[in-house]
């Protein structure tokens, strides 16, 4: 089954906790702290696998969780870092943040990777907190929590040439005549319910990929018929073969309608170079009206050629003409050339304070993350968190907001008591 849209939840691994430990060895007095660091949590990575051509794998598995890092050990042993979770996707996958609509990446090349959730770093062991005035630190960090996102994946087929037209114009028949593809062909509209791809040989050294886009009708840009479910696939193509039904009452009106629907969906589609072909030349009625139709198109400054996809008349000339136009057309630059591989969490200085019925709430992903990394049963760690709040300006902001001695301050799932 062809699936070209999916939503999945992904979560990177938590970092391992740092360890509080002191060296105890015979004949070695005052051994000092030797607690090791935790290992890094696994990243969640999308990777292009060229053998895939659909998002069907995400129909049944919708949640992906990377492995957590291991905790640190004694004798300064660092915990094992987790393996990254690599999720294969087909070429042409566009990745969005489902909650914000933000574009995260456009995966087109085989082997291309995109880190969508970065694994949490391991917490530091008590070795890192040793100083001249604190030679026996009894504090360590917890591992950094992993990130969690909901992603929307859209597949836009990557083809050199797209075949567009009204339903029953003969697009699937033309694809079968030019390639080894075997799409469903029948004498009724909307035979093609999903895009089909085929590889055509122009000559001994040149091949092109063609896509048969399901038939479009009036209102397709607003979802009518098969609508924008398949209009998005045209955006990847560089050249269009606009196939017209020679038995249609008004092929010129069909031509204008399809172009209008593409322009309404995405104005850049109307700028794509087109080869216009009138199909079904094997029918006597089409032969009789050919000169009249040719004159009508010429009056509109549109060059049109006559073919028969069923009889395979003129199809090689059509392919060669499209391939020549393709060679003159630069690759599309629909998305930015350089997309960020990873965007870090928000700046910890960007926080806000909200008044609640039973206290004050500090809202900041970075500060909430710091709270989760703090082992609250260790006094040294609590003091370090208090200094962090002072350095970020949270204490001053609470004071200006009107916080009083003894008020409850909420940070994520933690409750603290405000003290001057």
Contact 198, 53 (CB under 8 A): no
Contact 41, 119 (CB under 8 A): yes
224 falls in which pLDDT band (50, 70, 90)?
very low
C-alpha 275/C-alpha 338 separation (Å) is 32
Question: In degrees rounded to 5, what are phi and psi of residue 61?
Answer: -110, 115
Side-chain-side CA neighbours of residue 276 (13 Å):
18
Domain boundary among 106, 134, 154: 154
417 falls in which pLDDT band (50, 70, 90)?
confident
pLDDT in tens, 241-296: 999 999 988 888 888 888 877 777 677 777 888 999 999 999 999 999 999 999 98
User: Residue 292's domain is classified under what CATH number?
Assistant: 3.40.50.300
Is residue 388 one of the residues assigned to a domain? Answer: yes
Rounded to two decimals, the pTM is: 0.63
Lowest-confidence range among 45-49, 104-108, 171-175, 222-226?
222-226
Domain boundary among 313, 328, 343: 328
pLDDT averaged over the chain?
Answer: 82
Does one domain contain both 357 and 396?
A: yes
pLDDT attached to residue 182: 58
**Residue carrying structure tokens 């370090």:** 384
185 falls in which pLDDT band (50, 70, 90)?
very low
91 falls in which pLDDT band (50, 70, 90)?
confident
Beta-carbon contacts of 8 under 8 Å, excluding residues fewer than 6 positions away, are: 58, 61, 62, 63, 64, 150, 151, 153
- pLDDT (average), residues 190-211: 69
Is residue 228 one of the residues assigned to a domain? Answer: yes
Does one domain contain both 146 and 174?
A: no
Does one domain contain both 44 and 140?
A: yes
Domain boundary among 111, 139, 154: 154
Does one domain contain both 202 and 172?
A: yes
C-alpha 9/C-alpha 148 separation (Å) is 7
Residue 244 exposed, middle or buried by CB count within 10 Å (0-12, 13-18, 19+): buried
pLDDT in tens, 338-360: 444 444 455 666 788 999 888 99
229 falls in which pLDDT band (50, 70, 90)?
low
- pLDDT (average), residues 182-197: 48
Does one domain contain both 201 and 58?
A: no
Side-chain-side CA neighbours of residue 154 (13 Å):
18
In terms of phi and psi (left: phi > 0; alpha: psi -120 to 50; beta: otherwise), the region of 386 is alpha
Choose among 413, 401, 420: nearest CA to 360: 401
Report how many domains make up the chain: 3
By percentage, how much of the chain surpasses pLDDT 90?
A: 31
Is residue 272 one of the residues assigned to a domain? Answer: yes
Q: The tokens of 44 are what?
A: 């969640």
Domain extent, residue 63, equals: 1-154
Contact 179, 200 (CB under 8 A): yes
Residue 392 exposed, middle or buried by CB count within 10 Å (0-12, 13-18, 19+): buried
Does one domain contain both 83 and 181?
A: no
225 falls in which pLDDT band (50, 70, 90)?
very low
* pLDDT at 319 exceeding the cut of 70: yes
How many residues are given for the chain?
420
> How wide is the angle at C-alpha 86 spanned by C-alphas 85 and 92, nearest 5°?
145
Does one domain contain both 403 and 260?
A: no
Return the SS3 of 299. helix
Is residue 335 one of the residues assigned to a domain? Answer: no
Strand positions, DSSP E, 142-232: 148-155, 161-164, 196-201, 207-212
Is residue 399 one of the residues assigned to a domain? Answer: yes
C-alpha 1/C-alpha 18 separation (Å) is 47
Does one domain contain both 146 and 207?
A: no
pLDDT attached to residue 222: 40
- pLDDT (average), residues 184-190: 40
Does one domain contain both 9 and 149?
A: yes
């Amino acid at each position: 089954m062809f699936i070209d849209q999916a939503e999945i939840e992904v979560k990177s691994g938590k970092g391992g906790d740092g360890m509080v430990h002191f060296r105890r060895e015979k004949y070695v007095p005052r051994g000092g702290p030797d607690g090791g660091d935790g290992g890094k949590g696994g990243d969640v990575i999308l990777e292009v696998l060229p053998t895939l051509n659909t998002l069907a794998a995400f129909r049944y598995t919708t949640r992906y969780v990377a492995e957590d890092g291991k905790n640190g050990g004694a004798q300064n042993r660092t915990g094992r870092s987790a393996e990254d979770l690599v999720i294969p996707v087909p070429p042409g996958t566009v990745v969005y943040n489902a909650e914000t609509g933000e574009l995260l990446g456009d995966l087109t090349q085989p082997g291309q990777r995109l880190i969508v959730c970065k694994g949490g770093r391991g917490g530091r062991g008590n070795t890192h907190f040793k100083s001249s005035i604190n030679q026996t630190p009894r504090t360590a960090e917890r591992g950094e929590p992993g990130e969690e996102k909901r992603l929307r994946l859209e597949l836009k087929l990557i083809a050199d040439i797209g075949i567009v037209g009204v339903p029953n114009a003969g697009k699937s028949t033309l694809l079968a005549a030019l390639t080894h593809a075997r799409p469903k062909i029948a004498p009724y509209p909307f035979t093609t319910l999903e895009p089909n791809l085929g590889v055509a040989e122009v000559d001994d050294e040149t091949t092109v990929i063609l896509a048969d886009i399901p038939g479009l009708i009036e209102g397709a840009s607003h979802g009518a018929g098969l609508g924008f479910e398949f209009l998005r696939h045209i955006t990847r193509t560089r050249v269009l073969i606009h196939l017209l039904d020679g038995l249609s009452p008004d092929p010129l009106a069909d031509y204008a309608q399809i172009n209008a629907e593409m322009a309404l969906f995405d104005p850049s589609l109307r700028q794509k170079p087109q080869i216009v072909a009138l199909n079904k030349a094997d029918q006597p009625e089409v032969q009789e009206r050919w000169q009249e139709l040719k004159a009508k198109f010429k009056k509109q400054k549109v060059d049109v050629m006559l073919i028969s996809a069923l009889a395979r008349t003129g199809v090689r000339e059509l392919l060669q003409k499209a391939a020549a136009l393709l060679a003159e057309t630069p690759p599309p630059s629909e998305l930015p050339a350089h997309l960020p591989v990873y965007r870090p969490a928000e700046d910890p200085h960007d926080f806000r304070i909200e008044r609640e019925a039973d206290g004050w709430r500090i809202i900041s992903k970075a500060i909430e993350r710091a709270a989760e990394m703090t082992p609250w049963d260790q006094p040294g760690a609590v003091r370090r968190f208090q200094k962090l709040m002072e350095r970020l300006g949270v204490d001053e902001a609470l004071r200006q907001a009107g916080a009083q001695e003894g008020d409850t301050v909420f940070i994520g799932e933690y409750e603290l008591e405000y003290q001057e």
